[in-house]
């Protein structure tokens, strides 16, 4: 689609007065939303606004060595576009390539406008349209759309989270946050300390350890790690004997079930899961290794995200002496490295602060209704993708305990279904309405991850009863979607002055 500037400075959707759908973000969720919405509503006029220069979102932003999926790529990719590479745990650049190829194959890339950051969206109830303020290539532009779909992810793209380390200014080496990895950083033959023990740290360390002189993982406390094969014999066989799409559907369903079983086992039988994970560590680490010091977390499995280490690569790096784990606390930085509270000192040329993300809802955009700004984080979330009393706005967020795309795809399909329902009945607005019904509140993400605990009010609220209850349960949500009642707690209406014929 070509979006042409209106003489008054308003961007229009080509022939008509305004767009049908404005999608914010060209990552997994934005591409998936475009696919599902047009699959069901082929005439939809839409644009995707992306603040970066390329497709991919997370998989374009994060470029540190070893960046990869930490859930199965078969469930992280789209159900309608088979993953054809051999590996089942994919490197970041391969995921980005897959997303770019998918967007190209379905003509979605023609609808993307890069260097376009959505700053604000205001709902106009006299025309039932959103007016969206966008910083585009250094200029402020205005778009109008009947629906806005936020596929903007869940964290701040500008900066990650870095604690204030005492004395860090005295350090003469290089400090790097994985969210802003300098592509020219040469770590060959260098002593590297990685602060953190989450998914990023355990992906980075084996990759750095290939050429660095030595890599130390400095953690305050251990994390649960699970080793699984990077390649799947099951997937290989199925892809050989079955048509591509059939094989993909089976592998995807099987992996979703498998990941679900691991989660249920962890929550329902923590002692068994702890035993299994400890056994993996003991088997893969050298005899006498202090497993209970470095790999015995204080929390229950899946209170925090279970971190995948493909083919036990972290344990291998440790066994071969290329990497080590230190469980201690930072006292202060000095010129040569880090002094620990135990009194030990870690010499370092490079320190990587794998200390996490800064949570952010709706891409940091300001939302207002008829000129009155609202706080999306004060609103309850409806069926995990709309906000209480906010018309024609969708928000796409994945699961914390399963691959993101499993829910992102349900959200995209639910949006497409609602748009079709409205189109065929001539409705111009729809908003979920809680009304005066008292609703207890629970965290939308019931996971003890650092970035969630640091910012408990950064996300919209979850209720405790359907359809306001945000669940981390793919199978229940998939079932719900099948039997979804579109009019459940939903107010539909027609505007006397609709923006376009549609
Ligand atoms: C290092 C890392 C590894 C991960 N690994 C996995 C994994 O293995 N499995 C899994 O399920 N999940 C994983 N996740 C979660 C991951 O973010 C999701 O899998 C998925 O990539 C999210 O896709 P998305 O399109 O919703 O958001 P994102 O990938 O975050 O993309 C959002 C896009 O929106 C754009 N955007 C944001 N705000 C604005 C704005 N205001 N205006 C315009 N554009 C905007 C951004 O530039 C970005 O391109 C990982 C996350 C990280 C950080």
- pLDDT, residue 57, reads 98
Give the residues across from 128 on adjacent strands.
none
pLDDT higher than 60, residue 4: no
- pLDDT, residue 16, reads 45
pLDDT higher than 90, residue 22: yes
CA of 481 to the centre of ligand 1 (A): 23
The mean per-residue pLDDT over the stretch 430-434 comes to 96
- pLDDT, residue 484, reads 86
From residue 480, how far is each of 250, 253, 474, 477 by CA, in Å?
Answer: 21, 17, 10, 5
CA of 102 to the centre of ligand 1 (A): 16
- pLDDT, residue 157, reads 92
Q: Say what the pTM is.
A: 0.94
CA of 400 to the centre of ligand 1 (A): 13
In this prediction, residue 390 has a pLDDT band, given cuts at 50, 70 and 90, of very high
Q: Is 396 in the pocket of ligand 1 (CB under 6 A)?
A: yes
The mean per-residue pLDDT over the stretch 113-117 comes to 97
Buried b (16+ CB within 10 A) or exposed e, 158-179: eebbbeebeebeebebbbbbbb
Which tens digit of pLDDT belongs to each residue from 448-501?
666 677 776 778 889 999 899 998 899 999 999 989 899 999 999 998 776 654
Give the residues across from 325 on adjacent strands.
217
Residue 464: DSSP 8-state:
S
The mean per-residue pLDDT over the stretch 218-225 comes to 96
Average pLDDT, whole number, for the chain? Answer: 92
Quote the percentage of the chain above a pLDDT of 90: 84
Ligand 1 closest atom vs CA 408? 26
Which tens digit of pLDDT belongs to each residue from 241-291?
999 999 999 999 999 999 999 999 999 999 999 999 999 999 999 999 999
Q: Is 117 in the pocket of ligand 1 (CB under 6 A)?
A: yes
CA of 425 to the centre of ligand 1 (A): 34
Q: Which residues have C-beta within 8 Å of that of residue 291, sequence separation ≥ 6?
A: 278, 281, 282, 285
Least confident of 4-18, 199-213, 356-370: 4-18
- pLDDT, residue 442, reads 84
- pLDDT, residue 191, reads 98
Q: Is 403 in the pocket of ligand 1 (CB under 6 A)?
A: yes
- pLDDT, residue 325, reads 98
CA of 27 to the centre of ligand 1 (A): 6
Ligand 1 closest atom vs CA 32? 25
Give the residue, by CA position, lying nearest to ligand 1 atom 49. Answer: 57
From residue 79, how far is each of 63, 65, 86, 130, 466 by CA, in Å?
Answer: 26, 28, 17, 31, 26
H helices of 242-308, in order, are: 244-268, 270-284, 291-294
- pLDDT, residue 338, reads 98
Q: Where are the beta strands (DSSP E) in 384-458?
A: 386-387, 393-395, 429-432, 441-442
pLDDT higher than 60, residue 133: yes
Task: Name the phi and psi angles at 352, rounded to 5.
Answer: -105, 120
- pLDDT, residue 65, reads 97
Which tens digit of pLDDT belongs to each residue from 335-363?
999 999 999 999 999 999 999 899 899 99
Taking the CA atoms of the chain, what radius of gyration do you get in angstroms?
24
H helices of 67-155, in order, are: 73-76, 92-105
The residue whose CB lies within 8 Å of the most ligand 1 atoms, and thus the one to mutate among 95, 108, 152, is: 152
Q: Are 458 and 444 in contact (CB under 8 A)?
A: no
- pLDDT, residue 392, reads 98
- pLDDT, residue 30, reads 98
Ligand 1 closest atom vs CA 203? 1
Residue 178: DSSP 8-state:
G
Q: How many helices and strands (H and E) does the chain possess?
A: 13, 26
Q: Which residues have C-beta within 8 Å of that of residue 199, sequence separation ≥ 6?
A: 70, 305, 307, 308
- pLDDT, residue 459, reads 83
Which tens digit of pLDDT belongs to each residue from 230-246?
999 999 999 999 999 99
Q: Where are the beta strands (DSSP E) in 42-108?
A: 46-49
- pLDDT, residue 10, reads 44
Give the residues across from 116 on adjacent strands.
136
Q: Is 256 in the pocket of ligand 1 (CB under 6 A)?
A: no
Q: Is 152 in the pocket of ligand 1 (CB under 6 A)?
A: yes
Cis ω for the linkage preceding 70 (within 30 of 0): no
Ligand 1 closest atom vs CA 405? 11
In this prediction, residue 385 has a pLDDT band, given cuts at 50, 70 and 90, of very high
State which of 386-400, 430-444, 459-473 shows the largest mean pLDDT: 386-400
Separation between Cα atoms, residue 333 and residue 321, nearest integer Å? 25
- pLDDT, residue 303, reads 87
The mean per-residue pLDDT over the stretch 63-77 comes to 95
Which tens digit of pLDDT belongs to each residue from 302-341?
888 899 999 999 999 999 999 999 999 999 999 999 999 9
Considering only CA atoms, which of 142, 134, 41, 125 is closest in space to residue 390? 125
Which tens digit of pLDDT belongs to each residue from 152-180?
999 999 989 889 999 999 999 999 999 99
In this prediction, residue 436 has a pLDDT band, given cuts at 50, 70 and 90, of confident
CA of 13 to the centre of ligand 1 (A): 26
Q: Is 70 in the pocket of ligand 1 (CB under 6 A)?
A: yes
């Amino acid at each position: 689609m070509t979006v042409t500037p209106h003489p008054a400075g308003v961007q229009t959707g080509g022939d008509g007065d305004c767009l049908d759908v404005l999608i914010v973000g060209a990552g997994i969720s934005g591409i998936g939303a475009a696919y599902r919405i047009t699959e069901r509503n082929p005439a939809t006029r839409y644009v995707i606004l992306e603040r970066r220069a390329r497709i991919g979102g997370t998989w374009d932003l994060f470029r540190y060595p070893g960046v990869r999926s930490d859930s199965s790529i078969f469930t992280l990719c789209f159900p309608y576009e088979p993953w054809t590479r051999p590996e089942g745990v994919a490197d970041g650049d391969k995921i980005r390539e897959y997303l770019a190829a998918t967007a190209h194959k379905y003509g979605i890339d023609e609808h993307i406008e890069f260097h376009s950051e959505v700053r604000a969206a205001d709902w106009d109830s006299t025309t039932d349209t959103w007016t969206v303020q966008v910083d585009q290539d250094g200029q402020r532009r205005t778009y109008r759309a009947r629906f806005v779909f936020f596929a903007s992810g869940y964290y701040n793209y500008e900066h990650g989270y870095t604690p204030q380390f005492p004395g860090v200014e005295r350090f003469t080496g290089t400090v790097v946050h994985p969210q802003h990895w300098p592509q020219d950083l040469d770590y060959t033959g260098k002593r590297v300390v990685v602060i953190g023990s989450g998914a990023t740290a355990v992906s980075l360390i084996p990759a750095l350890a290939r050429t660095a002189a030595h890599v130390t993982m400095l953690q305050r406390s251990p994390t649960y790690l699970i080793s699984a094969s990077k390649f799947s014999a099951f997937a290989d066989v199925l892809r050989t004997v079955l048509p591509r799409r059939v094989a993909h559907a089976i592998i995807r369903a099987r992996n979703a079930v498998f990941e679900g079983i691991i989660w249920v086992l962890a929550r329902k039988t923590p002692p068994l899961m702890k035993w299994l994970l400890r056994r993996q560590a003991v088997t893969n680490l050298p005899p006498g290794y202090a497993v209970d010091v470095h790999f015995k977390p204080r929390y229950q499995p899946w209170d925090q995200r279970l971190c995948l280490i493909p083919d036990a690569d972290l344990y291998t790096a440790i066994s071969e002496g290329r990497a080590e784990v230190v469980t201690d606390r930072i006292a202060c930085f000095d010129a040569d490295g880090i002094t620990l509270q135990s009194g030990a000192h870690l010499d370092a040329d490079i320190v990587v602060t794998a200390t996490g993300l800064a949570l952010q809802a709706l891409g940091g955009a300001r939302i207002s209704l008829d000129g009155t700004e609202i706080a999306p984080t004060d609103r309850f979330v409806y069926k995990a993708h709309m906000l209480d009393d906010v018309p024609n706005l969708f928000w796409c967020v994945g699961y914390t305990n399963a691959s993101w795309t499993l829910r992102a795809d349900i959200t995209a399909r639910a949006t497409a279904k609602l748009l079709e329902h409205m189109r065929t009945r001539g409705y111009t607005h729809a908003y979920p309405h809680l009304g005066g019904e008292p609703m207890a509140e629970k965290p939308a993400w019931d996971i003890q991850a650092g970035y969630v605990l640091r910012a408990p009010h950064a996300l919209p609220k979850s209720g405790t009863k359907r359809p306001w209850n945000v669940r981390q349960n793919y199978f229940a949500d998939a079932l719900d979607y099948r039997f979804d009642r579109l009019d459940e707690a939903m107010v539909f209406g027609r505007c006397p002055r609709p923006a376009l014929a549609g």
